[in-house]
Copies of this chain bind each other. A is one copy, B any other.
């Protein structure tokens, strides 16, 4: 293995690397055929299958000098597992496509796969297939399959009068990214939050069971995602500034960078917190905080007015 790990993808070759990768991904009793055939075969007991796909591109969604291969694996898995969370479902199986230059160290690919598998294992999900090919830059394509035991919670069910609630750390990853972008490595807790997010994986199903009317995960920024939810539901959403406590590390980064720390919370993604609407405050589960309300109309406001600042990020 030492020899393998010291090689590049080009030196080791596609099939040798695949055979190493397959060892990292263990199946479970629902995986009738795992990696290695033309397709994987899964036993689906009952109910609905929930499926989502995401791409991560080196230099855009991650940098190899800002996070370890294992961290990138954790993040790639978390981003996709979070999409199933945002439907009120439970993630079960994933596929990974890895496009990479021939000079990518094999050790990077293996550590990436180990981090990916660890994050999946933390919610009981397994990797069942994948593809590996050459490209000029590293592109990671993940598809996740999950199941819903109750009706999935869509973006489109919010009603005027509902309350808007948030669960999970929010703004920490954006703060960490800002720090890394300036060449710093601390506050370490924020940098770690960016490198290895901790999405509230149990909260999606909790929200569904508590009667959430709409649910979305925050990957593109809180206000941006609130906008997607408002548009899909045909409602307006107002977010209250004073609903957010600014955690101490974000205050420190704001002061150091001369930025309003609330911006990390309002426009930050990458923590994969969840945003949901509930019929009333009484139905909001423990651990969630009410951060706004749903009104008639359209668009997103902050304290009733237009938000002066970024709301999230766009890909083009």
Contacts and interface: CB of A to CB of B under 8 A. Distances in A.
A77 interface: no
Instruction: Give the interface size class of chain A.
Output: 35 or more
Contact of A135 (B10, B60, B146, B155): B60
A5 interface: no
A144 to B, nearest CB: 8
Contact of A155 (B38, B50, B102): B38
B87 A314 contact: no
Nearest to A89: B39
Given A32-B48, A44-B49, A51-B95, A15 B135 contact: no
Contacts of A38: 52, 83-84, 86-87, 155, 215-217
A57 interface: yes
B133 A315 contact: yes
A303 interface: no
Which has the most chain B C-beta neighbours within 10 Å: A53, A55, A148?
A: A53
A23 interface: no
A152 B36 CA distance: 14
A52 B33 contact: no
What is the copy number of this chain in the assembly? 2
A223 interface: no
Interface in A35-82: 36-44, 47-57, 60-61
Given A51-B93, A316-B10, A83 B39 contact: yes
Contacts of A215: 38
Interface string A85-106: 0110100010111110010000
B60 A134 contact: yes
A60 B36 CA distance: 23
Which has the most chain B C-beta neighbours within 10 Å: A9, A61, A316?
A: A316
A50 B61 contact: no
A78 B48 CA distance: 26
A13 interface: yes
Contacts of A132: 55, 315
B97 A145 contact: no
B48 A134 contact: no
Contacts of A316: 9-10, 12-14, 17, 102, 134
A156 to B, nearest CB: 8
A224 to B, nearest CB: 10
